[in-house]
Structure 1
Amino acid sequence: MNRASEQSISILGCGWLGLPLAAHLVKEGYLVKGSVTADDKMEELVTRQITPYRVMITDAGIDSNDLAGFLQSQILIVNFPPSRREDVVLYHQAQMAHLVKEIEKSPVKQVLFVSSTSVYPDVNGEVYEHEVATPTKGSGKALLAVEKMLRTNVRFMTTVIRFAGLIGYDRMPGRFLAGKKNVENGDAPINVIHQDDCIALIREIIRQQAWGEVFNACADEHPTRREYYTQAAAVAGLEVPTFAATADPHFKIINADKIKQRLDYTFRYPDPLSLLHSGI
């Protein structure tokens, strides 16, 4: 029996990233429990050999068909984004406070929190994990607050992975700016990461037991918005956007050296421009 078959992993949030992640970990030999927010979504998990649970978390509490059963794992991957609402910071913290109380009563020893590079403001330069982040967007403020909540809890150990913009498969960018005119900030570099790299990095964190860390995760190359979205629209056969002249672009460049060195990882898709032509 391999090590993977002895471990149970629970994934809170089996959506665009969580579902293929869960399926991948099943193939690796792990016992995987996955959560969705509605009963009619559970059958898809069953077909992929993922043990399904319904878990809905609001600021008022947690509604689940079997929350204790879902949390009967050594590892919990928390993968649901902040809601789009004006009170997102307080709301997301309240959601996570309910979850933390339940984690503390469970066998969970390691938490992997899927965060975002939106915790970093635009500094017109590179950003690193060791820097003190001061988000400007509500979602970034919410994520940073939850990161701190999880990382300071002594009952379990948390690793945070901050993903750049998610791309791949059905989430291709050709339509994002297609046909738009005078788009601002065209000379700003972009930060994206392919779904396959997200899954592989999470798998390596688990395999190498890289707990208690904060990682940035972003493709190596950073083409400008103008280059990227113009080519993306053209490849998709859509009207290419036009960009306004910008004397003072605002941007950040996500530095992902730490995760590559710590996990000895080479990105499968380091160049977003090359990826546009691959259809992946």
Structure 2
Amino acid sequence: MNRRHFLAATGIGSGVSLPLAGRLESGPDSTTFDPHLPAPTEPPALPPGPEDAPERPTEVTAEHVSAYVSGYEHALAYNTLECHDLREIDVASDAVLETETDHGIYAFAVATGYSRCGAGSVPEHRDYGPPPIEWAVGEEYAVRIGDDATRYRNAERTFGTDHGDGRASGFAVTNFDYLAHDVTVTVTHEGDTVYEEIVALEPRSAVHVRNVSAAPGDHGVSVETDEGATASGTWTVDPNRNASRVVRVLVTGEVSIERREPYGEF
């Protein structure tokens, strides 16, 4: 996506805050699963450059987490775009909080920008605009799920292809835990099983499953991890919109399902 379209999709640079993509539809509902404490961790080191990563907040509040994740993405974008003979650079970033829990806050952050370097630099013009980045931040941890930790794959079959022009919605399962998990995801629609599969998740990674359903309307979603954490909720499918993210394995090993509206073009 070029910079202009990315800015329009996210609202950055236009004086509008990054829109809230959705609210938590259902939290963990398992009565037997025992959550574990989050593992201490820090996000990846930034590439060399003039900007330093912000300090992880010692007080985990909405305001502090928003500033932290937005500042990190700004520094990452700036250092990525910086060059030896820098003539011009422009970077903007923002964040939106998704869920507040008793162990931390889940958020999305996004940065975009461009730079122009001297004629001897390759490339001379540089653009930066990855999809919004998913974060979890607590007192002892900061987990960042970047593009390098994300896999994309198609569903084995698409449900409800007779409902439209072939466009179908999918979802993502994100694992913030330091442990790997096999997550069983079941999706139903009006009594029919739309999708049922075990999604294998590496620690601190995400899997996007595309082309799951072309049937518009509410779908039931239930998930269960290999450790017995469960949750259930609703996923509203609109094949004319981009894929919604709906499932999270939290840093405690619990699971949650969100009913979401997607950001822009990702």
User: How would you bin the TM-score normalised by the shorter chain?
Assistant: under 0.3
Q: Which one has the bigger strand percentage? A: 2
Query: Hey, which of these two has a bigger chunk of helix by percent?
Result: 1
TM-score, length-scaled by structure 1? 0.22
Q: TM-score, normalised by structure 2?
A: 0.23
Which protein, 1 or 2, shows the higher relative CO under an 8 Å CA cutoff with sep ≥ 6?
A: 2
